[in-house]
Structures are given as C-alpha cells and as structure tokens.
Chains A and B, each alone.
Chain A
Amino acid sequence: MVLTIALYCLVFAMILTLYRVLKGPTWGDRITALDFLTSNLAVLVVVIVLKTGYTDLLDIALLFSILGFLSTVALARYLLNRRVIK
C-alpha cells in the first residue's frame, strides 16, 4: 500500500519535471530537470526493489546516481568553459 503510494508520487513528480524539460525557457532549467529525472530514477529503482524483492537491481540505482552526477557536472562545465577537460 505504502509502496503503491510511493510509486504514484514518484511518477507524478517525473511527469511534472518532464514538462519542464520540454518547455523550460533557458538551458539551466533543462539541466536542472534532467538532474532531477536521473536522481528520481535511482529512487524509483529502489522502490521497485522493495515491491518485487529482487535485490540485484540495487546496483542499477547506484549506477543511475553516478551517471546523473557525472552528466550534470560535464554539462555545466561545458556550458561554462565550452570544454569539459582542459
């Protein structure tokens, strides 16, 4: 019951954020929304693990959080310096 409520909340937040990705007036809104989406996917995978019981999927949550952080930092550095690595 709690896990079903959790899934509905997470998916509703992701739909609202998807509107911000598509509409967002500046590029900063889009990067923020994509960061939010990847963090939210990691949380969603943990809730799915709790609902089904397959604990092997926990590695995928860690992978999503690492990928979201790296892509966010790379995009921000690219937009500031026009290059990722000096």
Chain B
Amino acid sequence: MLLDALREQLHLTGTKKGCDHGQCGACTVHIDGQSALSCLTLAVMSEGRAITTIEGLARGEELHPVQEAFVKHDAFQCGYCTPGQIMAATALVQDRQQRSAAEIREAMSGNLCRCAAYANIIAAIQEAQRA
C-alpha cells in the first residue's frame, strides 16, 4: 500500500494511518493533483504519477496558505488527522472557487476529526480560499 510505503519505507510519517480502510481520510495525499486515500492505493499502481504528501506542501519555512490558516484558526487539536485535512483542503481550494460553509461541510466530510475542530476547519478553509 502507498500509505505503508510512505510511512515505513520512506519514513514520511506525516501521512497518517487512522483506519486503513478508507473510512477516515487521515491518509489523504494528492495523486496527480487530486485528493486520494493512500491506504487504498497500491504503491505499484501509482507508478509514474505525481504524489504530494503533507511534507511537500510548505516551501521551506513558508507554510502553504491552508497550513497558515489552520494554525491561525486552531483547526486541529491532537493533530493526527490534520495532515489529511490539510491535503484535502488544499486540493479543494486549488480551483479558486468560493465555497459556502455548507459546501465545505459536504466536500470535507471524508476527513474525520475526532477532536472535532470542524467549526474551525470551516473558518480556516474559508480564509484560505479567499487568499
């Protein structure tokens, strides 16, 4: 699995394992620019495709606007689902559409946050999509 290859072989542990069955979103990465679940992706099937993980989002010290917004709005607590949330959110905002709170609720529902920082996640994404 791509998730295990990232975590165990490449030691890129920013991508998280929450359920290992596509039921929580913690393992979200970008595959060819779209959000996808690395726990349900065979590493061998992603050959030749562009994969971005949370580690590849910031430019050096400069955080991605979504990362900035997550910190500013405290859009997480324990931080474990956070990389997946941020990967899903960055994929969402890249089309520059201004989504309503209801649309964000629906589009981001595949990323479970048991700390339930959801209200702050909505605020962070709304800010990031304005950026």
A and B found bound together: no
